[in-house]
Amino acid sequence: MTETFIPRIQELAKCARMLALAGASIKLRSDTSVLPAIRDQIELGARMALDELFAEADEEQMSLALVMVEMALNEASELFRNPDRRSNWEIGDAAQMQAMGRSSKSVFTRIQSIAETDPKMRATFRGTLLDVGTGVAGIALEAARCCPDIRVDGIDIWEPALELARRNIAESAYADRVTVRNLDVSALDESNKYSLTWLPTMFLKRSIVESALDRIVRASVSNSYLVAGVYTRPEDPFLALMADLRTLRSGGEISDPADLKAMMEARCYVDIGMSVTPIATFVFGRLP
């Protein structure tokens, strides 16, 4: 039999399982109910995958790693099962939507990190956050948990996700400060309300982003902040391809943070900066 690509497939399958073991090991750090023999094998597998680096990681690294693992495995699974999915975010699987919501919590963690050196951004945590594309309210609930003075308005157009969001909010301790509704951001009609806005442009066509920015400006108070996200496009050719594919399958078009910066400057945002993570790049600015 001639040589085939099967050995390469076996190696890639091994990598997928090693990634799953690393994520499982991080999850089990807060779960003591697992059979010790199983826990030991999972821990051993994670160490085989990551060597001594795994044992030396701090909690912040573990938290980021778990987000990256969950995102990679969910994305890979969904891509394999639904390669013909339309270019949008209309995901119907409840478990996957909830998993994406858990992963999205890191968005607000990152916003808080940016605000550590910016007193004006920190001041927005005492106002109202507009969470565009709220999904199952992962970011909204994390914001409410972290900031006792913040109120959150979440908007989305995917009703299955909003149904889960309403349930998640009702089961939380923050139902008095978090609301969600079915609304397209390009139809936003508030004025002088929001101190902080999260805009995930990776889910939006360029024309919708332009319209959304105009609406957000009108809906924002003085010294409000806008944080807009795009998927980070790495230098590695394969990872860059995956970032582009992720944007297209999510329904977005914008992949260059410089495009967002130019759009914000055209609408009088100042103090514009960028924060780059392996997953997403945040472009943020203040509206005087």
DSSP character string of the chain: ----SHHHHHHHHHHHHHHHHHHHHHHHTT---S-HHHHHHHHHHHHHHHTHHHHH--HHHHHHHHHHHHHHHHHHHHHHH-TT--SS-----HHHHHHHHHHHHHHHHHHHHHHTT-HHHHHGGGSEEEEET-TTTHHHHHHHHH-TT-EEEEEES-HHHHHHHHHHHHTSS-TTTEEEEE--GGG----S-EEEEEEEGGGS-HHHHHHHHHHHHHHEEEEEEEEEEEE---SSHHHHHHHHHHHHHHT-----HHHHHHHHHHTT-EEEEEEE-SSEEEEEEEE-
For residues 89-107, give the mean pLDDT: 79
Band (pLDDT 50/70/90 cuts) for residue 29 is confident
Q: What is the pLDDT of residue 90?
A: 67
Q: Is pLDDT of 22 > 70?
A: yes
Q: What is the pLDDT of residue 95?
A: 78
Tens-place pLDDT, residues 123-168: 999 999 999 999 999 999 999 999 999 999 999 999 999 999 999 9
Residue with the bigger pLDDT between 183 and 43: it is 183
Q: Mean pLDDT lowest for which of 59-68, 69-78, 205-214, 261-270? A: 59-68
Mark 220-248 as b/e (b = at least 16 C-beta within 10 Å).
beeebbbbbbbbbbeeeeeeeebbeebbe
Task: Kindly report the number of other CB atoms within 10 A of residue 1's CB atom.
Answer: 4
Give me the percent of the chain exceeding a pLDDT of 70. Answer: 97
Tens-place pLDDT, residues 34-55: 898 998 999 899 888 888 777 6
Domains identified in the chain and CATH numbers: 6-81 (no CATH), 94-287 (3.40.50.150)
Q: What is the pLDDT of residue 1?
A: 46
Band (pLDDT 50/70/90 cuts) for residue 89 is low
Contacts of 70 (CB under 8 A, 6+ apart): 23, 99, 102, 103
What tokens were used for 142? 């994390």
For residues 50-69, give the mean pLDDT: 79
Residue with the bigger pLDDT between 16 and 50: it is 16
Band (pLDDT 50/70/90 cuts) for residue 206 is very high
- Contact indicator for 112, 146 with CB cutoff of 8 Å: yes
For residues 205-228, give the mean pLDDT: 97
Q: What is the pLDDT of residue 75?
A: 85
Separation of first and last alpha carbons in the chain? 70
Tens-place pLDDT, residues 242-259: 999 999 988 899 999 999
